[in-house]
Chain A
Amino acid sequence: MSTLAPPQALDTSGSARAVTAGRATPRRLSALAVGGTLLLLLLAAAVVGPLVSPYDPISQDFDRLLQPPSWAHPFGTDNFGRDVLTRVLHGALIDLRIGLLAVVFPFLFGSLVGAIAGYSGGLLDAVLMRAVDVVTAVPFLVLVIAVVAFLGPGEVNVLFAIGGVGWVTYARLVRSEVLREKGLEYVAAGRALGYGRWRVVLGHVLPNAVPPAVIFLASDVVLIILTTATLGFLGLGVRPPAPEWGMMISEGREFLASGWWVATMPGFACMYTGLTFILLGDGVADLLRVKGQ
């Protein structure tokens, strides 16, 4: 294959953009714009909804069990007579909080570890990656069960467990990208030109290595919300009667036939959130890509 390297890092004058002028950049931002709008709507609903709703998300009404959607209850009621829409809205904040908190640390920490490992190579790489191996080897569920057994159930402990294990994927992703970038000539060229090691890493290697991690992060947020559902499925999730979407889906699956709305409505909420974050992730990754050029 030719020795031509993609002129991404060195050329900051925008000539790369000139080459690809055919694809108008404004279209790229549309993912970011749409995702951002969806997120704002979600946040608005999460904040305003609970204030506006006439129902309490926890109080039970034994005369109104499993009512189908109606004007009084747009999302119906669940097996305790609680209004599903209100619970979904209250759950938005809980799930956003869980999803974001549980990715921030893994993303930052994992990317850093991966970048260092990939760039340094040698012993440091070996040690870090073997540490990654050890963490990977501990089955996630063992860890969660252990955390719950020692510290009790609840949101914080679940975050703890997820965060402790989740950084590994980011480390691996970023490391593989850094390995690839490392071999590119612009890096050697940069060094030859006298750019400091850190400047090369932070200014050029990292931005190009990180997009796959960002894209994964978008999916990861959603996966984490679903992990809480799985933990609920296994009986290890957030403490009831908290209206967390994952728990609602898990508890509601028993009623798929008699009250499909109980599990499906939070499921739609998950899907909406998933789409939001995926679009955001794509948008941010595109931005990073453009910036790195």
Chain B
Amino acid sequence: MALLAYALRRVGQAVPVALLVTVLIFLLIKLLPGDPAAAILGERASDSAVKVLHRQWGLDRPLPVQYAVYLRNLFTGDLGQSFRYRTPVTDLLPRRSTVTFFLVVYSTLLSVVIAIPLAVVAASHPDRWPDHLVRGLITLPLASPSFWIGILLLILFALRLGWFPASGYGEGLGGHLRHLFLPALTLAQPLLAILTRNLRSALIDVQRTTYVDFARAKGLARRVVLVHHILRAALLPIVTLIGVRLSYPIGGAVVVETVFALPGLGSWMVESILARDYMVVQTLTLVFALGAMLVTLVTDLVYPLLDPRVRLG
């Protein structure tokens, strides 16, 4: 099947890309000024103490050797140790990943669920007051920094109303859903606005074309027209944007994770870069790279399913 062959080809292409990314990040992080040993021991540490740690962590060997060691360990499943926490990265990764994954999926779902009705309303009355209202409603949070929205939501819903907890990840599925609702809502803002506007634009577009009029003329029920033709055609840019968003779990999530004190990958990544926790940065980058490529692949595979006119390269 053509789709399967394409998918396999892409998976094959993913390997050199992933390797290239690891090399890039390895070099980038090593070239950054700043020494993890000094960062951890503190600025008052003696030079000899710093050297001891360098030897312990293998940082005194030439770069190509270090990279080779890294690759070799990678293939045996050893992702290295976090300098900061003196714990294997593999011990710290599962919980952090779950938190971020949960958050990102939750927020994407919220964006989609809220965007569709908003876009439909706006597209049904283009340039009249419902359209302007929707546009205004989504612009306000879009144009506000996420940490601000987060704090305002916290003040309103956690403090004043007490409906949601103020921080942390919680226990159990119900607990997670409660703890993550406000952060997910905050994270959903930009995507929500972009989705609404793109969907609205696509809906207006498709509405205007003659095949819709023809279909209506043929007497198809309005509902059928709506679902089958319009949404399907408009979903292409939507899927792209969702794909882009899902492959950027760090960017938007850092702020939200910090404001809501969530132990996720985004804030971990930033903290690790700042502390020059090399192994963590390399592992996380690899995880993100693979994740991003996976999401891209899935969206690329979904295109032809949504619109048979699209042919895969």
Chain A interface residues toward B at CB < 8 A: 1-2, 4-8, 16, 19-20, 23, 27-28, 30-31, 117-118, 120-122, 125-126, 129-130, 132-134, 136-142, 145-146, 149-150, 168-169, 172-173, 176-177, 179-180, 182-184, 211-212, 215-216, 219, 222-223, 226, 229-230, 233-234, 246, 249-250, 253, 256, 263, 267, 270-275, 278-279, 282, 285, 289
- Is A4 within 8 A of B148, CB to CB? no
Known pairs A180-B307, A222-B142; A233 contacts B288 (CB<8 A):
no
In the complex, identify which listed stretch (B82-90, B109-117, B208-216) lies at the interface while the others stay far away.
B208-216
Question: Nearest chain-B residue to A219 (Cβ)?
Answer: B194
- Is B13 within 8 A of A229, CB to CB? no
- Is A275 within 8 A of B139, CB to CB? yes
For the complex of A and B, the 7 pairs showing the least CB-CB separation, nearest first, are A274-B143, A137-B289, A183-B309, A121-B313, A125-B313, A6-B209, A229-B145
Question: Nearest chain-B residue to A220 (Cβ)?
Answer: B194
Cα distance A126–B240 in the bound complex, in angstroms = 17
- Is A230 within 8 A of B313, CB to CB? no
B205 at the binding interface (Cβ < 8 Å): yes
For window 182-206 of chain B, which residues contact chain A by CB distance below 8 Å?
190, 193-194, 197-198, 201-202, 205
Interface residues on B, range: 35 or more
Cα distance A177–B33 in the bound complex, in angstroms = 42
Known pairs A134-B24, A219-B193; A142 contacts B255 (CB<8 A):
no
B108 at the binding interface (Cβ < 8 Å): no
How far apart are A76's CB and chain B's nearest CB, in angstroms? 17
B50 at the binding interface (Cβ < 8 Å): no
For window 273-313 of chain B, which residues contact chain A by CB distance below 8 Å?
273-274, 281, 284-285, 288-289, 292-293, 296, 303, 307-313
Residues of B within 8 A of A23 (CB): 126, 208
- Is A140 within 8 A of B13, CB to CB? no
How far apart are A140's CB and chain B's nearest CB, in angstroms? 5
B68 at the binding interface (Cβ < 8 Å): no
Known pairs A2-B211, A20-B208; A149 contacts B146 (CB<8 A):
no
B147 at the binding interface (Cβ < 8 Å): yes
Question: Nearest chain-A residue to B145 (Cβ)?
Answer: A229
Cα distance A176–B236 in the bound complex, in angstroms = 7
Residues of A within 8 A of B145 (CB): 226, 229-230, 233, 246, 249-250, 267, 270
- Is A219 within 8 A of B248, CB to CB? no
- Is A172 within 8 A of B240, CB to CB? yes
Interface membership of chain B positions 94-127, coded 1 if the CB is closer than 8 angstroms to chain A and 0 otherwise? 0000000000000000000000000000000011
Cα distance A179–B302 in the bound complex, in angstroms = 13
Partner of A4, one of B210, B258, B310: B210
Partner of B144, one of A6, A145, A271: A271
Residues of A within 8 A of B5 (CB): none
How far apart are B227's CB and chain A's nearest CB, in angstroms? 13
Residues of A within 8 A of B14 (CB): 133
- Is B296 within 8 A of A31, CB to CB? no
Partner of A140, one of B21, B147, B251, B255: B251
Chain B interface residues toward A at CB < 8 A: 9, 13-14, 16-18, 20-21, 24-25, 28-29, 31-34, 126-127, 135-136, 139-140, 142-148, 151, 190, 193-194, 197-198, 201-202, 205, 208-211, 213-215, 229, 236-237, 239-241, 243-244, 247-248, 250-251, 254-255, 258, 269-270, 273-274, 281, 284-285, 288-289, 292-293, 296, 303, 307-313
- Is B211 within 8 A of A138, CB to CB? no
- Is B248 within 8 A of A140, CB to CB? yes
Question: Nearest chain-A residue to B297 (Cβ)?
Answer: A133
- Is B288 within 8 A of A139, CB to CB? yes
Cα distance A173–B205 in the bound complex, in angstroms = 16
Partner of B143, one of A7, A19, A216, A270: A270
Write 6 A-B pairs (CB below 8 A) sorted by A numbering. A19-B213, A27-B127, A145-B32, A149-B34, A215-B198, A270-B145
Partner of A126, one of B13, B215, B254, B258: B13
- Is A211 within 8 A of B201, CB to CB? yes
- Is B251 within 8 A of A180, CB to CB? no
How far apart are B235's CB and chain A's nearest CB, in angstroms? 11
How far apart are A119's CB and chain B's nearest CB, in angstroms? 9
Cα distance A286–B241 in the bound complex, in angstroms = 20
Residues of A within 8 A of B193 (CB): 219
Known pairs A139-B288, A142-B29; A180 contacts B310 (CB<8 A):
yes
How far apart are A187's CB and chain B's nearest CB, in angstroms? 10
Residues of A within 8 A of B284 (CB): 139
Partner of A274, one of B142, B240, B310: B142
Question: Nearest chain-A residue to B295 (Cβ)?
Answer: A136
- Name 8 extra pairs, CB < 8 A, besides A138-B25, A140-B251, A289-B205: A126-B9, A136-B292, A139-B269, A177-B236, A219-B142, A229-B145, A230-B146, A272-B143
- Is B143 within 8 A of A233, CB to CB? no
Known pairs A137-B17, A139-B250, A142-B281; A183 contacts B310 (CB<8 A):
yes
Question: Nearest chain-A residue to B205 (Cβ)?
Answer: A289
Question: Nearest chain-A residue to B306 (Cβ)?
Answer: A180
Question: Nearest chain-B residue to A290 (Cβ)?
Answer: B208
Cα distance A223–B213 in the bound complex, in angstroms = 37
Known pairs A126-B13, A180-B310; A267 contacts B214 (CB<8 A):
no
Known pairs A130-B17, A134-B24, A271-B144; A212 contacts B201 (CB<8 A):
yes
Residues of B within 8 A of A121 (CB): 311, 313
Known pairs A122-B313, A134-B21, A274-B142; A176 contacts B194 (CB<8 A):
no
Known pairs A2-B214, A8-B209; A173 contacts B190 (CB<8 A):
no
